[in-house]
Structure 1
């Protein structure tokens, strides 16, 4: 490999990560869980697992210190304290490189945090190429036919795809050269899309190394599903279904909590927590799919700390258990039975609230409301019933 040469890695994680999270988990994409582990943690661990890597420095957003601090990382002296990023990727990379100046590594790899599936082979090939090149860039051949257009409406030319390659990270460089190039690039009125482009602009020779189709960049929500499938290929998955049922009576009050939404009403629901009968049924459904008992096991009503607690706490605990076991919630189906209040006007808001807590898109949440035709205690407007089903995909245990 590299003999006595020192190697540092800059993991760029300073973006807001909003495009991948708008309809599901509100966390920035680099902190969302991928089969039970945050994306950024997976990425950092991929480099810490490489014995030839001496240091890893994460570059994070100024508002993400608490999110980064919650990661369960064990890197010892090899994992350096995070550095605050800049206004764009180029500025963030420069911040990472500058922080490494006192250590002056021989080589530096620059990697996007949003590529958590990078393989040891891709990393090693980049490092090996630096023995004879100024820089190294992992690529995959372009297989689609590429058209060029000046106006976005008509084709001007067809490119020769045999000469085209899609760039990936980590991109490798000799540290003094790329630091110097970045410092000079920061003084010109041009924003470079990656570090290899800065190296090219600076006149450095950039060697191509084999990338991998698994080394995907998570940009949009659907990329999480693709990454889950790629990780799932390493283990057999199975689908489990759980059901939940809950009843709460009315008592004096002026609003009810249903599906994570407060609805004005002539009464409120009676319970130790906020008595959100819908979220209670749903929480039990997820626990059922996991074989984890019911809500009372995890949050006993005898425990005073749960007095008037938001039921979204219980639902999030159930959803986190799914993620911690390397699984995902496939879909949720919830039925609410009551004569009043009217549920229909609040369904979309409920779906968004539930999806946000569970880290899924609202399209995976179904909510139906019905009455009992004035029969029984619900017909007499004495309370509300909720029934839920949850489908969960988990790694097979046997």
Structure 2
């Protein structure tokens, strides 16, 4: 799973990228600011939506398409999430939703991801299961997939002149489309470019663009709770839904510890806490041997009872040879978020005679916080020597101990264990 650097403009190739369309004005909701930046349970609607997509570990990057005038709203809404390595810089949208999606696709073109998801900013309650189903449909061979729910109400066609019913429509095969909608990136990019070249800008969703271009669109089961906020009434109902979720969520605190060690080998630096620290030796390992990030990864996974770093990234697998260990920790944090959890505190103690850790401590804290998309005030880095005793005392290697404290929704744990 490729994890790009934070907020870069030309990301490297990734498997799955998500575009959140947030450039609309949302005038039907009313108020002085667009609906995607309105408060919903103490967070902006957009913040809920971004967090929902970041909770899906299969998503490698998230790009939000915004109105050019909305940068202050965006910055206030996203805040510390901007440091998540999966978040890319926001992209300015166009005059229509269709044009805005094309802006997002063009921004992703240098990366050429395999799959792209398009999701409405005003659907903050999308679940990881709905997202995963959309991705799976394209991975299994569909050109595109659309989340949808069967229409439950009886449908009537009305004569707009008289107001009389002219037809009762069979709803058996009818579904209401939602987002996310997933696509093979190259195909939907070509379709959007072709539609724009022909001046076609009235299609209301990206599945419509795909159909127009001749792509086959599969349907995956959506979620009635995955509502779109369009009107002031919708926003009120969303507030009630969010309040109910908050009220029904009981949190439990979990604490786990972990330990890792790596021996020295010839080199000119060691990777510790996600940063290179100058030294007259390196650390030996299958990846970059960052003993701090390895211990933190194991501690976070342990809070979930989700194996350890070796079970997810076995050293026997050549794809992990020499890779940056920030990918391991980001994966563990993604697993935590996927289950609705959050970091309360991360603590690590580095045991070595050399190099000196003090001058690099704050940079390590900041980098760990960046990888975990949390505040540096939640990250502690300490160091000690072993007073000349043992392998660390003989300067044969470096050890690290880590403790992760997290909060998990009790209902999520009950579901996992039941």
TM-score range, shorter chain: 0.5 to 0.7
Match of 2:118 among 110, 114, 134: 110
> What is the aligned partner in structure 2 of residue 286 from structure 1?
none
Contiguous gaps of at least 5 residues in structure 1: 238-398
> What is the aligned partner in structure 2 of residue 125 from structure 1?
133
> What is the aligned partner in structure 2 of residue 168 from structure 1?
178
Query: What secondary structure, in the 3-state scheme, does the structure 2 residue paired with 1:169 have?
Result: strand
Query: What secondary structure, in the 3-state scheme, does the structure 2 residue paired with 1:236 have?
Result: helix
Give how far 1:48 is off.
Answer: 1.2
> What is the aligned partner in structure 1 of residue 34 from structure 2?
28
> What is the aligned partner in structure 1 of residue 16 from structure 2?
7
> What is the aligned partner in structure 2 of residue 144 from structure 1?
153
Match of 2:53 among 28, 36, 47: 47
Query: What secondary structure, in the 3-state scheme, does the structure 2 residue paired with 1:170 have?
Result: strand
> What is the aligned partner in structure 2 of residue 154 from structure 1?
164
Q: Is structure 2 residue 98 aligned with structure 1 residue 90? A: yes
Q: Deviations over 1:10-51 (max 9, x none)?
A: 0000011222123xxx22111111000001111111111211
> What is the aligned partner in structure 1 of residue 236 from structure 2?
225
> What is the aligned partner in structure 2 of residue 388 from structure 1?
none
Distance in 1 of aligned mates of 2:44 and 2:246 = 19
Does the aligned pair in 2 maintain the 1:41–1:73 contact within 8 Å? no
Does the aligned pair in 2 maintain the 1:55–1:79 contact within 8 Å? yes
Give how far 1:77 is off.
Answer: 2.5
Distance in 2 of aligned mates of 1:235 and 1:77 = 28
Distance 1:182 1:34, change over 3 A: same
Distance in 1 of aligned mates of 2:187 and 2:50 = 24
Q: Deviations over 1:230-251 (max 9, x none)?
A: 12222338xxxxxxxxxxxxxx
Give how far 1:224 is off.
Answer: 1.5
Higher Cα Rg, which structure: 1
Q: Is structure 2 residue 25 aligned with structure 1 residue 19? A: no
Q: Deviations over 1:127-181 (max 9, x none)?
A: 1111221101000111111112354523332211011110000000000000000
Does the aligned pair in 2 maintain the 1:139–1:210 contact within 8 Å? yes
> What is the aligned partner in structure 1 of residue 216 from structure 2?
205
> What is the aligned partner in structure 2 of residue 76 from structure 1?
84
Distance in 2 of aligned mates of 1:81 and 1:73 = 13
> What is the aligned partner in structure 1 of residue 144 from structure 2?
135
Distance in 1 of aligned mates of 2:86 and 2:199 = 36
Q: Deviations over 1:244-270 (max 9, x none)?
A: xxxxxxxxxxxxxxxxxxxxxxxxxxx
Does the aligned pair in 2 maintain the 1:142–1:164 contact within 8 Å? yes
Does the aligned pair in 1 maintain the 2:14–2:60 contact within 8 Å? no
Query: What secondary structure, in the 3-state scheme, does the structure 1 residue paired with 2:219 have?
Result: strand
Q: Deviations over 1:251-306 (max 9, x none)?
A: xxxxxxxxxxxxxxxxxxxxxxxxxxxxxxxxxxxxxxxxxxxxxxxxxxxxxxxx
Distance in 1 of aligned mates of 2:234 and 2:101 = 24
What TM-score does the superposition give when structure 2 sets the normalisation length?
0.54
> What is the aligned partner in structure 1 of residue 264 from structure 2?
none
Matches within 5 A, 1:367-386: none
Distance 1:235 1:66, change over 3 A: closer
Q: Deviations over 1:291-348 (max 9, x none)?
A: xxxxxxxxxxxxxxxxxxxxxxxxxxxxxxxxxxxxxxxxxxxxxxxxxxxxxxxxxx
Which structure features the higher share of helix residues? Answer: 2
Misfit runs of 4+, over 4 Å: none
> What is the aligned partner in structure 1 of residue 193 from structure 2?
183
Query: What secondary structure, in the 3-state scheme, does the structure 1 residue paired with 2:85 have?
Result: helix
Does the aligned pair in 2 maintain the 1:8–1:56 contact within 8 Å? yes
